[in-house]
């Protein structure tokens, strides 16, 4: 392989992407207070966090 050919494993299609792409909106929709309030399990999570005395109950 000559240097002009390039590295096939570093091409755009084969390059590894970061596994964690943080987004505040996606996090709030998944783990936020309103998301927790919608399901019975999430309400249990909020109740337990209130019982412990957490200042923040959800991600939002």
pTM: 0.65
pLDDT at position 10: 55
Tell the residue number behind the tokens 């596994």, with chain if given: 19
CATH no. of 21-60:
1.10.287.3980
Domain boundaries along the sequence of the chain:
21-60
- Over its length of 60 residues, how does the chain's per-residue pLDDT go in tens digits? 566 666 665 566 668 889 999 999 999 999 999 999 999 999 999 999 999 999 999 886
pLDDT of residue 25: 94
Q: Do the Cβ atoms of 23 and 10 come closer than 8 Å?
A: no
Give one DSSP letter per residue of 11-60, joined into a string.
STTTPPPPS----HHHHHHHHSHHHHHHSHHHHHHHHHHHHHT-S--S--
Q: Are 46 and 33 in contact (CB under 8 A)?
A: yes
């Amino acid at each position: 392989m000559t240097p002009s050919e390039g590295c096939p494993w570093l091409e755009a299609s084969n390059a590894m992407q970061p596994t964690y792409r943080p987004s505040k909106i996606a996090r709030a929709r998944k783990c936020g207070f309103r998301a927790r309030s919608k399901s019975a399990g999430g309400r249990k999570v909020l109740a337990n966090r209130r019982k412990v005395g957490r200042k923040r109950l959800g991600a939002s």
